[in-house]
A = this chain, B = another copy of it.
Amino acid sequence: MSNSTRDLSERSLQLLKTLVERYISDGQPVGSRALSKDSELNLSPATIRNVMADLEDLGLIHSPHTSAGRVPTVSGYRLFVDSLLTVKPLDAKDITRLYQGLSERDDTSNVIGVASRLLAELTKMAGVVTLPRRELVCLRHIEFLPLSHKRVLVIFVTNEQEVHNKVIHTGKVFSAAELQQAGSYLNSIYCGRSLVAVREAVLKELQDDQERMNQAMLDAIKMAQLTFESGDEKDDYVLTGETNLMGFSELSDRDHLKKLFDAFSQKRDVIHLLDQSLKAEGVQIFIGEESGYQAFDHCSLVTSSYSVNDEVVGVLGIIGPTRMAYEKIIPFVDVTAKLLGAALNPKTTTP
């Protein structure tokens, strides 16, 4: 990278830091005089101007027009969050709210939705949480019901209480009794295994010699195959607080706003973006155009994967304007991810 912290004097970095902080807090381009007062180093505005010129040459800050102050560029923000930022401890009452919402698992409502709402509510931005990955979810129960015209309704329950359903087309008509039998057969052999494992096992069965199975078992296996064949059920997420984004002046442009909301309902781009955080541990940040999607040009995403039993199962985060209080948001997202992971962990469930 061209802009490592090595390229710059300690002083320049210090000034960049205060500049970014100042800009984040009041949203106006910050000039040399303001910066001179804000920074602890006692420097005159003139000196500051020299430094600012350097920072501008490096592409870290930029002037909207000649007689305005400076504003951080994307690279400026990037350097700031990577090396300059001093995270602030979480607000005590935010912690309480998070803890209340996530620690005691609410019966019927889903934790994912609660997490998303908490993210949005406490940050005043948009909160997003992906549903846990299928690879990690276990089959708990499966059931078939006959529909008309060789169609069968499959209902399967995963983990504790998530219910999924799907309609499959079978080659022939089955009676309710036959379907029930198939269900119990599959339950008896596949319960407790992950969906991915089930899919693999089923495929293996079909490839192996099928002599040792009777017709009923074969039918059951075939239905299981239809149910769990590849990407039938796309990854999904719960997004809340989108309307919070309409309050920010930097996103006020109707066109941008429309693009953003279109992306939200399209889901595709958002999912792709969140997927990138699935591989990484800890908090990840996409600033402005870094995301690669035009819709998010003036937005930043702060995300973190969350894990159950030390395995990453999903991603959560917030979406807001590029100019956001990273020093508070980053630890906030981090903690939320950890709390959600804990809430999802069946072993830590309180009695």
A-side interface residues toward B, CB under 8 Å? 107-108, 140-141, 143, 145, 147-149, 151, 153, 155, 157, 160-161, 163, 165-167, 169, 240, 242-243, 246-247, 252, 254, 257-258, 261-262, 265, 349, 351
Are B148 and A140 in contact, with the CB atoms below 8 A? Answer: no
List 8 extra interface pairs beyond A108-B166, A153-B157, CB under 8 A.
A107-B151, A107-B169, A141-B145, A145-B157, A148-B160, A240-B265, A246-B261, A252-B254
Residues of chain B within 8 A of A153, CB atoms compared? 157, 161, 163
Q: What CA separation (Å) do A262 and B246 show in the bound complex?
A: 10
Distance between A302 CB and nearest chain B CB, rounded to angstroms:
22
Interchain CB contact under 8 A, B254 and A242: no
- When the two chains form their complex, are residues B140 and A161 in contact, meaning their CB atoms are under 8 A apart? no
The complex places the Cα of A157 from the Cα of B258 at a distance, in Å, of 38
Q: Are A246 and B265 in contact (CB under 8 A)?
A: no
Copies in the complex: 2
| Shortest Cβ distance from residue A143 to the other chain B in the assembled complex, whole angstroms | 6
Closest to A152 in B: B161
Q: Which secondary structure characterizes the binding site on chain A? A: mixed
Closest 5 CB pairs of A and B: A163-B165, A108-B167, A246-B258, A243-B261, A153-B161
Q: Is the CB of B163 within 8 A of A155?
A: yes
Cross-chain contact of A161 among B167, B252, B257 (Cβ < 8 A) = B167
Contacts of A165 in B (CB 8 A): 161, 163
Docked CA distance A163–B351 (Å): 30
User: A262 to chain B: which residues have CB within 8 Å?
Assistant: 243
A108 contacts across to B, CB distance below 8 A: 166-167
**Closest B residue, CB atoms, query A244:** B258
A254-B147 Cα distance, complex, nearest whole Å:
48
A-B CB contact pairs (8 Å), 17 listed: A107-B169, A108-B166, A108-B167, A141-B145, A145-B157, A147-B161, A148-B349, A149-B351, A155-B155, A155-B163, A161-B167, A240-B265, A242-B265, A243-B258, A243-B265, A247-B258, A252-B254
CB distance from A188 to the nearest CB of B (A): 12
